[in-house]
């Protein structure tokens, strides 16, 4: 092939690559089944085994939602316990909330929100922690669904109460005591999903600002695109970002933020990439930063 023909072919390939839809990315994730696209969901709206969960604000749900989607109040997986914001409510209470939403152990669950799958990821983690085996997020959530002109309804579906048997996975939940015990353990990597100013302590949201000694800062927004629909970045970009910071699959990963929501987003992202030994510290900085007995580092230094 001569030089001019090579240039033409390369130009075509580059132009084609620029219009590849985000759905193609899912094929390259280590766990692609955890993230679904709008076209996948649109084909399954009436599947009786599929429970679609909308975790936006209730007023937004009432103004329009994905057909057959059930409203799920986000505070049902986020509570203030012992003065600490962001804790998972008692397991029996969370189980009852899942059942009220029509979720059974055999249900396939797809969750969405309108914040880059931020709160959807918190619910995803809670379901996995309680042992649900088929839970997924809608890539781009409500914003992408609307932008693509997908069907919208204000009709509230009537769903039968589910039957959910809990099989707790304690390895998916990090605690303050566990992290304190392993601060010098090179096998534990603490991923802080807060903003850089929260990490350094400039933005103080607890009695003390800063971060846990040794923790690395990877703001949750780095997991998604910067456009208005906020879809997950392709696997190569995400994998490079985490690996460059030493977040490798052979390590134990504890993700946290201020109240365990942004940390859950990083948890989901790592699960999508194939990380198996990853957990959420739901107490997060609301607990650690308000405890005068826990060590804190301010500034950009890790230790």
Architecture of domain 24-147: 3-Layer(aba) Sandwich (3.40)
Q: Compute the distance between CA of residue 138 and CA of residue 6 in angstroms, rounded to an integer.
A: 39
Q: For residue 26, what pLDDT is reported? A: 57
- Residue 24: pLDDT band with limits 50, 70, 90: very low
Backbone angles phi, psi at 40, to 5 degrees: -60, -45
Q: Compute the distance between CA of residue 198 and CA of residue 55 in angstroms, rounded to an integer.
A: 26
pLDDT in tens, 216-263: 999 999 999 999 999 999 999 999 999 999 999 999 999 999 999 999
The model carries a pTM of 0.91
Q: Of 52, 121, 191, 257, which residue is the catalytic one? A: 257
Sequence-separated (6 or more) residues with CB below 8 Å from residue 125: 172, 264, 267, 268, 280
Domain extents in the chain: 24-147, 170-288
Average model confidence (pLDDT) for the chain?
A: 92
Strand order, beta sheet including 35-36 = 35-36, 135-138, 108-112, 50-54, 69-71
Q: For residue 55, what pLDDT is reported? A: 98
pLDDT in tens, 44-63: 999 999 999 999 999 999 99
Q: Is the pLDDT of residue 80 over 70?
A: yes
Q: For residue 16, what pLDDT is reported? A: 33
Lowest average pLDDT, out of 6-10, 83-87, 134-138, goes to 6-10
Q: For residue 14, what pLDDT is reported? A: 34
Backbone angles phi, psi at 224, to 5 degrees: -130, 165
Q: Is the pLDDT of residue 7 over 90?
A: no
Does the annotation mark 7 as catalytic? no
Q: Do domains 24-147 and 170-288 have the same CATH topology?
A: yes
Q: Which residue has the higher pLDDT, 215 or 2?
A: 215
pLDDT in tens, 163-212: 999 999 999 999 999 999 999 999 999 999 999 999 999 999 999 999 99
User: If residue 100 lies in a helix (H) or strand (E), which one and from where to where?
Assistant: helix 91-100
Percent of the chain at pLDDT > 90 equals 90
CB atoms within 10 A of CB 40: 15
Domain 170-288 adopts which CATH fold? Oxidized Rhodanese; domain 1 (3.40.250)
């Amino acid at each position: 092939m001569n030089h001019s023909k090579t240039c033409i072919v390369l130009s075509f390939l580059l132009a084609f690559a620029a219009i590849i839809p985000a759905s193609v990315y899912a094929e390259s994730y280590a766990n692609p089944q955890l993230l679904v696209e709008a076209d996948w969901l649109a084909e399954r709206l009436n599947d009786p085994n599929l429970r679609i969960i909308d975790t936006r604000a209730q007023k937004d749900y009432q103004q329009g939602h994905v057909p057959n989607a059930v409203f799920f109040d986000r505070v049902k997986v986020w509570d203030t316990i012992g003065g600490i914001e962001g804790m998972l409510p008692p397991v029996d209470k969370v189980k009852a909330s899942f059942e009220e939403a029509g979720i059974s152990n055999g249900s396939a669950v797809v969750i969405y929100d309108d914040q880059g799958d931020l709160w959807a990821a918190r619910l995803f983690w809670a379901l996995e922690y309680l042992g649900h085996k088929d839970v997924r997020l809608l890539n781009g959530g409500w914003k992408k669904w609307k932008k693509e002109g997908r069907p919208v309804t204000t009709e509230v579906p009537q769903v039968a109460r589910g039957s959910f048997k809990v099989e707790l996975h304690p390895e998916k939940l990090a605690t303050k005591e566990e992290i304190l015990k392993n601060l010098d353990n090179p096998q534990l990597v603490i991923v802080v999903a807060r903003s850089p100013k929260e990490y350094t302590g400039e933005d103080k949201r607890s009695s003390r600002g800063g971060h846990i000694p040794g923790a690395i800062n990877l703001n949750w927004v780095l997991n998604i695109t910067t456009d208005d629909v906020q879809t997950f970045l392709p696997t190569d970009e995400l994998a490079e970002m985490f690996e460059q910071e030493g977040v490798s699959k052979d390590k134990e990963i504890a993700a946290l933020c201020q109240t365990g929501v942004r940390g859950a987003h990083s948890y989901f992202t790592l699960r999508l990439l194939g990380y198996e030994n990853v957990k959420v510290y739901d107490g997060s900085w609301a607990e650690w930063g308000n405890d005068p007995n826990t060590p804190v580092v301010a500034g950009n230094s890790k230790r």
